[in-house]
Amino acid sequence: MEYIPTAIPDVVLIKPRVLGDHRGFFMETFRQNEFEQYCGAVKFVQDNHSGSTQGALRGLHYQIKNTQGKLVRVIAGEVFDVAVDLRQGSKTFGKWVGIILSAENKNQLWVPEGFAHGYYVISEWAEFVYKATNYYSPEWERSLFWNDPAIGIQWPLINGEVPTISEKDAGAPKLADAETFPAG
């Protein structure tokens, strides 16, 4: 696998080595020793899988306590995946990176603790899977408003239409009012 730091170096694009022939393909999706070398020593405790229709936007989510790092990928369809740095004192606080993840490109993205994460479904249908470093804790889950102009995410919206979002995400605070992670 190839590990490529993004514009926010702690967020890492992971490109697998795909071996294919007339039967199909094979690839490794995770190797602990390499992951630790390029992304840090973490322990994954939960796997999640979601399916969403075109135009759905899930996020931007994070847990303020029981924080989660996420290793994300798409196994059907295509999404625009986003990480927003919420670590106070970070040189990239309030900045974002966005990557196209698809079943076709088979890429993964490492989103460490301290980031809000979300994705927008570009294809007619997408299935999204990820490993998390901590258990889901609804009492600590927070959302960041998906379209905060102070962050300026350039979502690739289909026909410029407002995405389909949950009621909770529609009422999420903007960065200026959101709970963030303390410096240090």
Catalytic residues: 61, 130
Sheet containing strand 108-111, strands side by side: 2-5, 12-15, 108-111, 70-76, 125-132, 46-53
Region class of 104: left (phi > 0), else alpha (psi between -120 and 50), else beta: alpha
| Contact assessment for residue 13 and residue 6, using Cβ atoms and an 8 Å cutoff | yes
Place of tokens 């080595």: 17
Distance, in Å, from the CA atom of 152 to the CA atom of 149, rounded to the nearest integer, reads 5
Place of tokens 């992951």: 35
Distance, in Å, from the CA atom of 82 to the CA atom of 99, rounded to the nearest integer, reads 7
